[in-house]
Amino acid sequence: MPVKGEFKKLLTLPSGMQVAILPFEKKSRIYMWLCLKTGSLDGFIPVRTSIPDDAITCKATWQGKPITLVYHPGLDHAVEHQIFKGTSDRKYGNPYRVNKYYGPRNRDDEDAQGADTQEMAVRYYIETEPEELEESFRFLSALTLRSLLTQQNPQVQRRLQREWEREKEIILTERGYYEDDTELVAREETQSRMFPKHPLWYSIDGTEEDIRSITLAQIALRYKTRYHPSNMLLIVIGGGVTPALIKKLSQKYFRSPHHRVLHIPSVIPNIIQSIPAKDRIKFIPKDRELLHICLGFPYTRPTTPTSEQLPASIRKHHSIAVLKKVLGGRWTSRTATELREKRGIGYRHHSFRSDYPGAGSLLYSTFTFPKKSRQWQGVFLRILRKLATELIPELEFADAKASLIDDLEAATETPGDLAEFIFTSVRRTNRVPMFEEVKAEIRAVTREDVLAASQAIICPERLYATFVGPLPSEKDQRAIFRALKNWKLK
């Protein structure tokens, strides 16, 4: 992203915290993202009890001793919620004081502050005025390093327990809200089945049973072992920010706490080559007017590319991005042209890609009337076959790359998109590239690169699909299932 001159390098503080600073002359306010470089995929905690046979586990070292960690779905999301119940800083000592400060200062802007849990990160976002910058540092450090979760006072613990019992109901309500979104349900169902016996199998929230089983002690343990400056990236974007000031405030408010961070090794998904079709293709009835369809493929990628692997990894990364653009997401994409414009099937045709340690996924999503689903299936499989066996025409290829570069330039207009790019770049390569450098990398991608990426990803034996909504007739369901099950590239 357009990081200029002396701002192109990350600062690394003595505590291990990374800080990315970007002046943004178009905005007078300052935007701060405190990102934990951990998310729902890392939701492992040490256990002292017996481990269930079906549990997902990994090995780690804690205080010089080998230990076994067990994955608990929904744990990071629970910490994100419970962290707002108060801090040891008297100014933010209870939920009312925390939420009073964290709530939007500008009542016309409900998105001025926020927090969210993702697979690869937990993020706390705050928008502030330059004169309130130090106060924002104080608040974020109190929230993430001095939570009441670590307090041993029995009275405090009893209060937190009551708060947690109420908060469970809020999380379950939030989960129910997302379950009403058929697009999200279709995407989560499709992706989860790609990665069996892995944290990606579970949703970020976990199931109702997972949420109700989480204890306050588990939340406190997760907080204590992961909320540490060495596991954080602070992104500061705004007018008038300087490295000297941000470094000074970061060192003042984000000193290392007494506890140590628990380093959790990445659990690499096992992308199984031959899962039965009945486990890859699923029909979920839901009372809606339109049928939502999600189809996709998992793929492998380097966990942490070495310096020798990095150029090829970056080239493949951009090749998949071009493939995604050709498949869907634009008015001129293959699916929009062949399905919407020529045949009137589907309103939106989106494509998505996700990258995780050791694996990724390429997904396509649309919605249509159930009676159109068989026609959709025939056209869509022909599109996939061509992408996996033929070079993309020059004009279409150039258009897709130009669209990627347009997206890159558009991201420079909003602090949120800039922060997202910075975070994903640091997670992927531990650096923030220059804007012109990224554009040059995209331009260097060839049609042969994209075809190679297509052939590595689009594999009939790894095709996953989910249909959510009013289902087609049983006859059509059987026909669609057979077509997807028996589909071949030749």
- Domains of the chain in start order, with CATH, are 5-253 (3.30.830.10), 277-486 (3.30.830.10)
Over the chain (490 residues), the average pLDDT of each successive run of 10 is 48 91 77 89 81 84 82 92 87 73 53 80 90 90 90 90 94 90 90 86 88 93 90 88 89 81 74 78 93 92 70 86 92 92 91 87 94 94 95 96 91 83 83 86 95 93 94 94 91
CA dist 156 to 112, 118, 162, 169, 478, Å? 30, 29, 10, 21, 58
SS3 content of the chain, % helix, strand, coil (to 5): 50, 20, 30
- 468 CB burial (10 A radius; 0-12, 13-18, 19+): buried
Q: What is the structure's pLDDT at 490?
A: 78
pLDDT for 51 equals 82
Instruction: Kindly provide the residue ranges of all beta strands, DSSP E only, lying in 3-112, ordered along the sequence.
Output: 11-12, 18-23, 30-36, 44-46, 57-62, 65-71
Q: Provide the pLDDT for residue 91.
A: 74
Task: Report the Cα–Cα distance between both ends of the chain, in Å, rounded.
Answer: 41
Q: What is the pLDDT of residue 7?
A: 44
Q: 9 Cβ partners below 8 Å, 6+ apart?
A: 431, 432
Query: Cα–Cα distance between 81 and 174 in angstroms, integer?
Result: 11
Instruction: Look at residue 112 in the predicted model and tell me its pLDDT.
Output: 58
**Whole-number Å distance between alpha carbons of 188 and 190:** 5
Q: What are the structure tokens assigned to 476, written together? A: 């059509």
- The pTM of this model reads 0.88
Contact 418, 1 (CB under 8 A): yes
pLDDT at 23: 79
How many CA atoms, within 13 angstroms, populate the side-chain half-sphere of residue 177? 7
Cite the beta strand spans of 333-422 per DSSP E. 349-356, 359-368
pLDDT of res. 106: 45
